[in-house]
Amino acid sequence: MNSQSLPHPDLILDIDARADLLCIIRHALRAWCRQVGVDAARADRICLAVDEGAANIVRHAYRRTRGRIRFAAGHDRSTDPPMLQFTLEDDGEQVDLDTIRPRELDDVRPGGLGIHLIREVMGEAIWEHLPEGGTRLTMRAVPASTAQDHREETTHYAW
């Protein structure tokens, strides 16, 4: 992990980029969220967004080859209030960053909603090419629920 990708990560994983291993990231992230006090429903949303990002690495960055996924989670204490930050990195094929966009929601068909989901759950999602090859996705979770979360549930999340 590049030191710029996440100040003080609490959780770092490096796994083979295979769809059947993405559960490792989900399980570790869910446990980490519990450890830092994230509500279970909010943690599920965060896990889903991170899983979408990791699945896109498997699907797009390594579509012609095998590789690794590096994942980190931690608190970004440089902001006020501190935010959760998640980083996914790969060494795979770099896709054109301009093509990383959600499809229109009225285009009803299977798949293609991962970018919508990531942006809905996370307060910020930034894709960037790594100088040595590959891509980094940095996601920052807002410290409290979004309006959507608040409508779906009766509790207000703060951690």
Partners of 12 in the β-ladder:
72
Burial group, residue 64, by CB count within 10 angstroms (0-12, 13-18, 19+): exposed
Residues 153, 135 contacting (CB under 8 angstroms): no
* Count of domains forming the chain: 1
What per-residue confidence (pLDDT) applies to 136? 97
Residue 1 lies in a domain: no
Domain with residue 114: its CATH number is: 3.30.565.10
pLDDT (tens digit, 9 = 90+) per residue, 16-28?
Answer: 999 999 999 999 9
- Residue 152's closest CA among 120, 123, 128, 124? 120
pLDDT recorded at residue 97: 84
Give a yes or no: residue 157 inside a domain: no
Q: What is the pLDDT of residues 68-80, one digit of tens each?
A: 999 999 987 677 7
In a domain, 71, yes or no: yes
Does this model's pTM top 0.75? My answer is: yes
Indicate whether 118 belongs to any domain.
yes
Residue 121 included in any domain: yes
Structural domain range at position 30? 9-152
Residues 76-101 have a mean pLDDT of 84
